[in-house]
Amino acid sequence: MQNNEHKRLDLKEVRAKLEGKRGPQYWRCLEELAETEEFQEFLLDEFPQQARGLMPEMDRRKFLMLSAASLALAGLSGCRFLPARKIVPYVQRPDEIIPGKPLFYASVHPFNGDAIGIIVTSHEGRPTKIEGNPDHPASLGATDAITQASILNLYDPDRAQNVTNLGQISTWDDFLKAARDTLARPGGGAGLRILTGNVTSPTLADQIATLTGRYPGTKWHQYEPVNRDNVYAGTRLLFGAPLNPVYRFDRANVILSLDSNFLLSMPGHVRYAHDFGNARRVRSKAVSTNQPAHNTMNRLYAIDSMPNITGAMADHRIPVRASEVEAVAFALAQQLGVAGVTAPGPLPASVPPQWLSGLVQDLQANRGACVVVPGDHQSPAVHALAHAMNAALGAAGTTVVYTDPVEISPADNMASLRDLVNDMQAGKVTMLLIIGGNPVYDAPVDLNFKDQLTKVPLTAHLGLFDDETSARCRWHLPETHYLEAWSDARAFDGTTSIVQPLIAPLYDNRSAHEVLSELTDTPGTSLDIVQGYWRRTRPSPTFDAFWEKVVHDGLIPGTALPARTPAAGRAAAITPSPPSPSIGGGAGGEYEIAFMPDPTIWDGRFANNGWLQELPKTLSRLVWDNAAFMSFATAEALHLTTEDMVALNYRGQTLPVAVYAMPGHPDNAVTISLGYGRERGGRNAEEAGFNAYALRTSDAPWFGPGLSITKTGGRYFLVGSHMRNSINMAGRDPVQHATLQDFIKNPDFVRNDAEVHDPPLDESFYGDAHTHEHKYEGFGTYAWGMSIDNNVCIGCNACVVACQAENNIPVVGKDQVSRGREMHWLRIDRYFGTGRSNTDYLANPRTYFQPIPCMHCELAPCEPVCPVAATVHSAEGLNMMVYNRCVGTRYCSNNCPYKVRRFNFYKYAAGQPNRMPGNFDLPTIQLVANPEVTIRGRGVMEKCSYCVQRIDMARIEAKKADDGAGREIQDGEVLTACQQACPTNAIVFGNIKDANSQVKKLKDEPQDYSLLGELNTRPRTTYLAKFTNPNTAIDPADSAEAEEVAS
């Protein structure tokens, strides 16, 4: 059966269903509100299609024939001779390697002008897993989804492996000869242009300086599609110099986000999320040194133009169009009394005046403990206003500190690229070396970079993939992955780290350092170059010890950029941004378009990464695609619905794209994420989604008016994980929520509306002998459990990719996901909910995140239904899944109320039914597999194991400790992969038998509740309720409503 046979979502039906009544308090998607047939199927079954599509339809006779044959031959699969295997020991074993024991190396993941300190696990020389470096200020031990997944790029089978000249395989020597010949010609140096991303590597900047010194006239351009141009333009406007704001959310009680996504996409976001989470954590008692008793929360206001997780976490959120944020900022600055600022126009209608006045009072009441955070893509005026407000509120120097830019030589990316294009057009460029990046794909469409490139006689692209830019350049040079070569990089606050490689280049790849060193005729290895640079900068007789230490620790101490006290702001000079001129032909439409970096594949550089493609987008939960997000009302007005194809006409360009009706999106605007619609660059990248760069122009790279939308008819198949694996709550609340004020008044609210169970839950038909206490307590020292704090879960997805990397979870592809067959052991359920009116309900819902691993129920419903005892309980309370016993009846998943069980309908791990990078039959991908976890075969069930391999390893180490005398596993010794990756420490795992363990103390908190506890499954994974901290001056109704729920 075809997947897209399902009836299309009808928005009118949603409206009709909601007419005159309030919908469910918590809901997942519009399909749920419309009660579509497809949603109902997914609600009732985990695998509604069961095995459909696996084999051709057959008649009864053939079915019986095959059944009989399989029964008769069932035992034969066990008959085989032992495979002959070889042992291949080292010739000379490296000193530090103990076979079977992983090693850990500090390094750093340089990414889009930022860097996150990491610790990389290496098994016998092959890096397998990335964790955060607890000592690094941008990480503090945590990571994000992109950093977790970046290791897969190293082993990507589609990586560029050869130097090519016009598509023919060539050699590095040939390229260098061609380059040197060009440079040696008279004036050759003057025609050299180098295009890089935003460089935060001191060594690379130094090398480029050497090169430009050697060839006068050489110019260095920097361009990345997601850049901080507006941040620096704004601070320059206000302070006279470009400055880098570093936020200190640990000191802020009130936070105003002016369309920023500081929890996911701003440099430093992992650290920011950590600080933000700490200030929101509510604890009645101290849980550990880093989780003290805490009964206050910060308050986050968000003025949001795009669906993003920062807005989702906000206590007060208002959706406005991106272009209206500036008007709000002006009004706010005026009300806050920023000297010299008067609002040029009225407040947008979508922002109620009492909302703004309540916010102003709150900010003023928290002088010095509040902060205004402008979004990186907002106009320079918004940035200038935000920082003027920060100065007026006493935030500057406390909750936000300013440093010099992190980039070694900051450049206005758009201006820099435009200069380059102008030079190319004027024929001034004889040789263009593009280091990293993919400008043919991601440069603004009006610059026509692609065509100007043909005017350059010698073009070369150094890149990880043979992509659109490689295809248009004469030479393609394969670049090393960051885990293959030495380099250095600065983090969001300037902290510099050495990028330590874990493995020699897999192919004939070279790093940017090595290529540039050849051009300056000082060839060397990346180690020589980077170490040489630091030796020159820090001459010291003890340099070797210094080097050893900074490489080992993963950062150079004292390199954080010093805080600058900026000169008094010139707030009076802030003028509204000029209206964007319309370029090109075509009548300007009435809609606004906005672009955002994709929450998983970013600007397109991770488009071939299967883990990230299959990772549900933070809010829409779409996989493998982007779409034109628009509000419910806008879609309704245009008679559109999700999956309709439309043509976006914007400034003379047209892009066909699928519509997605996104609750909470501002009206009359369309947001589309970057990075999709690739033409080249690997099997996953190509032909997924729509290329938003086709509409993006250099004068308004983030948003602009004049978009018109035409329905073209036709349907595009979008796949979201929001429907798949929907827990059937049968009318119960999936998440528990209260305002902080109400929680303090009524700490037991999670229990107040609990169902009364008859007979009582602790009574058993079989008498005492079978009650829970007798069944699972009393054995052993350990009872493993997990506590997940919904209040600080920001829905960033780091845990999901960490789990995928740790547990060898295959990638299944869009078609399989659409059938509910994705294999993630851990998913994040995203719920919308609680609006006071039906309009509010769809236009600005509150958002809740709830990570769902296996609950490890003490009375697990999956266990009694397994005919072969393939899922049983361990003495320590783990619900074990035994692959070698499983015969694939899927009864267990049918009986699991949480829908956490995953079934291998195909040999996904071997690339069936389509070959996805991320699967283990590809020789390079095999290298990323965790040797401590079985790679599952076809026909077996699998699910979250609480990372039992980590428990087992900690247990063995504990038993061997003290010269074999043994000790108990200490609290915090076993971190599950999800827990380790989480930036806000929302996930805590441990021994609930230990009264002093963090997890036990968390389970004793009053807001602890079990998901579907009414079913008497006694889950070992429990949740802490979600709180909001609304400002009663704005939202008196909020509190009344919560009371009504609580009572």
Partner 1 sequence: MAQVFSPIHNTLARLSLLAALALPAVIIVASSAVTRSPYGTNAKVVLDQPVPFSHEHHATELGIDCRYCHTSVETSETAGVPPTQTCMTCHSQIWTNSPLLERVRQSYYTGVPLQWNKLNSVPDFVYFNHSIHINRGINCNVCHGPVQQMMITYKGRYFYMAWCLKCHREPERNIQPDGAKAVFQLYQDYQRGDLKDARERALADGEEYDPTPAEVEKGRQTLEKYHMTATKKQLTDCWTCHR
Residue showing tokens 């009680």: 253
CB of 91 to partner 1, least distance (A): 4
CB of 732 to partner 1, least distance (A): 31
Q: Measured from the CB atom, is 500 or 945 closer to partner 1?
A: 945
Bridge partners, residue 659, by sequence: 628
Q: Which of 407, 412, 446, 932 binds partner 1 (CB under 8 A)?
A: 932
CB of 688 to partner 1, least distance (A): 34
Choices 82-90, 388-396, 824-832, 1005-1013; region in contact with partner 1 by CB under 8 A: 82-90
Q: Is 28 helix (H, G, I), strand (E, B) or coil?
A: coil
Give the integer Cα–Cα distance in Å for 749 and 747: 6
Helix (H) or strand (E) holding 126: strand 126-132
Q: Which of 89, 562, 731, 767 binds partner 1 (CB under 8 A)?
A: 89
Q: Which of 72, 90, 346, 587 binds partner 1 (CB under 8 A)?
A: 90
Give the integer Cα–Cα distance in Å for 592 and 707: 6
Q: Is 87 in the site for partner 1 (CB under 8 A)?
A: yes
CB of 782 to partner 1, least distance (A): 8
- How far CA 1013 is from CA of 787, 833, 935, 942, 999, in Å, comes to 14, 21, 32, 23, 18
Query: Site size for partner 1, by CB under 8 A?
Result: 45
Give the integer Cα–Cα distance in Å for 627 and 670: 10
Q: Is 91 in the site for partner 1 (CB under 8 A)?
A: yes
Q: Is 84 in the site for partner 1 (CB under 8 A)?
A: yes
Q: Which of 85, 186, 539, 585 binds partner 1 (CB under 8 A)?
A: 85
Alpha helices in 543-649, H assignment, sequence order? 543-553, 610-613, 632-637
- How far CA 352 is from CA of 130, 317, 346, 359, 1034, in Å, comes to 46, 12, 12, 11, 9
Structure token pair of residue 790: 């919904």
Q: Is 660 in the site for partner 1 (CB under 8 A)?
A: no
Q: Measured from the CB atom, is 883 or 891 closer to partner 1?
A: 883
Q: Measured from the CB atom, is 73 or 87 closer to partner 1?
A: 87
Choices 293-301, 366-374, 811-819, 929-937; region in contact with partner 1 by CB under 8 A: 929-937
CB of 929 to partner 1, least distance (A): 11
Q: Which of 190, 865, 882, 954 binds partner 1 (CB under 8 A)?
A: 882
Q: Is 883 in the site for partner 1 (CB under 8 A)?
A: yes
Structure token pair of residue 546: 């210094």
Burial annotation 768-787 (CB, 10 A radius, 16+ → b, else e): eeebeeebbeeeeebbbbbb
Q: Are 254 and 370 in contact (CB under 8 A)?
A: yes
Q: Residues 482-501: x/- map of binding to partner 1 (CB under 8 A)?
A: --------------------
Show contacts with partner 1 in window 150-189 (CB under 8 A): none
CB of 198 to partner 1, least distance (A): 43
CB of 233 to partner 1, least distance (A): 54
Residue type, 290: N
How many CB atoms are closer than 10 A to CB 480? 25
CB of 99 to partner 1, least distance (A): 5
Give the integer Cα–Cα distance in Å for 589 and 941: 52
CB of 959 to partner 1, least distance (A): 6
Q: Measured from the CB atom, is 275 or 876 closer to partner 1?
A: 876
- How far CA 745 is from CA of 311, 461, 1010, in Å, comes to 27, 63, 22
Q: Is 467 in the site for partner 1 (CB under 8 A)?
A: no
- How far CA 213 is from CA of 98, 202, 207, 220, 309, in Å, comes to 48, 16, 10, 11, 45
- φ, ψ dihedrals at 711, nearest 5°: -75, 130
Q: Three-state secondary structure along 631-666?
A: CHHHHHHCCCCCCEEEEEEECCEEEEEEEEECCCCC
CB of 509 to partner 1, least distance (A): 23
Q: Residues 775-794: x/- map of binding to partner 1 (CB under 8 A)?
A: ----xxxx------------
Choices 482-490, 652-660, 722-730, 955-963; region in contact with partner 1 by CB under 8 A: 955-963
Q: Are 980 and 806 in contact (CB under 8 A)?
A: no
CB of 667 to partner 1, least distance (A): 51
Q: Are 569 and 391 in contact (CB under 8 A)?
A: yes
Q: Is 968 in the site for partner 1 (CB under 8 A)?
A: yes
Show contacts with partner 1 in window 850-879 (CB under 8 A): 872, 874-876, 878
Q: Which of 161, 913, 959, 1014 binds partner 1 (CB under 8 A)?
A: 959
Choices 155-163, 294-302, 835-843, 881-889; region in contact with partner 1 by CB under 8 A: 881-889
Q: Which of 12, 93, 711, 757 binds partner 1 (CB under 8 A)?
A: 93
| CA torsion through residues 492, 496, 499, 500, sign | negative
Q: Measured from the CB atom, is 56 or 89 closer to partner 1?
A: 89
Q: Is 904 in the site for partner 1 (CB under 8 A)?
A: no
Strand ranges of the sheet holding 784-789, from the earlier edge strand across to the other edge: 987-991, 784-789, 1021-1024, 1008-1009
Q: Which of 20, 56, 99, 731 binds partner 1 (CB under 8 A)?
A: 99
Q: Is 773 in the site for partner 1 (CB under 8 A)?
A: no
Contacts of 839 (CB under 8 A, 6+ apart): none
Q: Is 965 in the site for partner 1 (CB under 8 A)?
A: yes
Choices 235-243, 259-267, 511-519, 956-964; region in contact with partner 1 by CB under 8 A: 956-964
Pairing of strands 316-319, 299-304: parallel
Show contacts with partner 1 in window 576-615 (CB under 8 A): none
Q: Measured from the CB atom, is 396 or 929 closer to partner 1?
A: 929
Q: Is 806 in the site for partner 1 (CB under 8 A)?
A: no
Q: Is 934 in the site for partner 1 (CB under 8 A)?
A: yes
- φ, ψ dihedrals at 465, nearest 5°: -125, 155
- Exposed (0-12), middle (13-18) or buried (19+): which is 77, by Cβ within 10 Å? exposed
**Of the candidates 827, 862, 997, 985, which has an alpha carbon nearest to the alpha carbon of residue 281?**
985
Q: Is 55 in the site for partner 1 (CB under 8 A)?
A: no
Radius of gyration of the chain (CA): 29
Q: Is 479 in the site for partner 1 (CB under 8 A)?
A: no
Q: Three-state secondary structure along 281-347?
A: CCECCCCECCECCECCCCEEEEEECCCCHHHHCCCEEEECCHHHHHHHHHHHHHHCCCCCCCCCCCC
Q: Is 101 in the site for partner 1 (CB under 8 A)?
A: yes
Q: Is 914 in the site for partner 1 (CB under 8 A)?
A: no
Residue type, 773: E
Q: Measured from the CB atom, is 546 or 883 closer to partner 1?
A: 883
Q: Residues 508-527: x/- map of binding to partner 1 (CB under 8 A)?
A: --------------------
Contacts of 947 (CB under 8 A, 6+ apart): 806, 807, 974, 976, 977, 989
CB of 46 to partner 1, least distance (A): 23
Q: Measured from the CB atom, is 507 or 779 closer to partner 1?
A: 779
Q: Is 415 in the site for partner 1 (CB under 8 A)?
A: no
Give the integer Cα–Cα distance in Å for 24 and 13: 15
CB of 90 to partner 1, least distance (A): 4
Contacts of 516 (CB under 8 A, 6+ apart): 204, 207, 208, 211
Q: What does the binding site for partner 1 look like in residue numbers (CB under 8 A)?
A: 79, 81-82, 84-93, 98-101, 779-782, 872, 874-876, 878, 880, 882-885, 932-934, 945, 948-949, 952, 956, 959-960, 964-966, 968
